Amino acid sequence: MSIHSADFIKSSPKIEECPEPDFPEYAFIGRSNVGKSSLINMLTNKKGLAKTSSTPGKTQLINHFLINNSWYLADLPGYGYAKVSKKTREIFSKMIEKYILNRKNLVNVFILVDARHLPLENDLEFINWLGEKEIPFSLVFTKIDKVSQREFAFNFKKYMQELRKTWEEVPTIFKTSAEKKIGQEEILSFIEDTNKYLERNKITFT
């Protein structure tokens, strides 16, 4: 899929303020600093579209971008960021939870995990929670430019082992680098195929 347009629509502190759910929506979720905003910029070929920062906790609202006038990308705040207060963390997770469970046009959640790390407890918890709630999701490894192939193969294997403990089938997996532009085509094709499926089956949201 080629991107003709990518426009920032709005930032919303809660689901009630999000744009009308009139187009299919794809959300990017993951721990703070994992590279959600950078991935969105890479996918859309627009450097400053989503604000990125080397300091975790940059994205604090639900940001909506309209792509090709036909589907939404949602950039969410990171979960599990240790430096904000426990109270703020709880507000964020409640907000994300409510968004995921109630957003009518949400067709897929991309969960981002850092390729440099072994599976982390709160990522696995989040993945299993999505499963329980029957929310479709895919797993995206980020920053693969920062690991050696050997190191990544090891982390990847550990992830698969953990996932197989609760899942018969592993989800669709993407390996990405915003820095080196790896994984753009794969993710965009996945979104394109999903959009076509919705169209063919006349699935709308309003």
Ligand X SMILES: Nc1nc2c(ncn2[C@@H]2O[C@H](COP(=O)(O)OP(=O)(O)OP(=O)(O)O)[C@@H](O)[C@H]2O)c(=O)[nH]1
Q: Does 34 contact ligand X by CB under 6 A?
A: yes
Please provide the DSSP assignment of 101-149 as one string. HH-TTEEEEEEEEETTS---HHHHHHHHHHHHTT--EEEEEE-GGGS-H
Helix axes 121-132, 149-166, angle to 10 degrees: 40
Q: Please choose which of Mg ion, ligand X, none residue 149 contacts, taking the beta carbon within 5 to 8 angstroms, the exact cut-off set by kind.
A: none
Q: How far apart are CA 42 and CA 3, in angstroms?
A: 11
Q: What does residue 23 show for φ and ψ, rounded to 5 degrees?
A: -130, 155
Single residue of 1, 23, 26, 32 touching ligand X by CB under 6 A: 32
Q: By CB under 6 A, what part of segment 129-148 binds ligand X?
A: 142-143, 145-146
Q: Does 186 contact ligand X by CB under 6 A?
A: no
Q: How far apart are CA 38 and CA 42, in angstroms?
A: 6
Q: What does residue 139 show for φ and ψ, rounded to 5 degrees?
A: -105, 130
Residue 92's CB is within 10 A of a number of other CB atoms, namely 20
Q: By CB under 6 A, what part of segment 113-132 binds ligand X?
A: none
Part in contact with ligand X (CB under 6 A); list of ranges 11-19, 64-72, 121-129, 174-182: 174-182
Single residue of 9, 11, 15, 57 touching ligand X by CB under 6 A: 57
Single residue of 44, 59, 63, 176 touching Mg ion by CB under 5 A: 59
CB 21 within 8 A of CB 105: yes
Single residue of 38, 63, 155, 195 touching ligand X by CB under 6 A: 38
Q: Which residues of the chain form contacts with Mg ion (CB under 5 A)?
A: 36-37, 58-59
Q: Which residues of the chain form contacts with ligand X (CB under 6 A)?
A: 30, 32-38, 52-54, 56-59, 77-78, 142-143, 145-146, 177-179
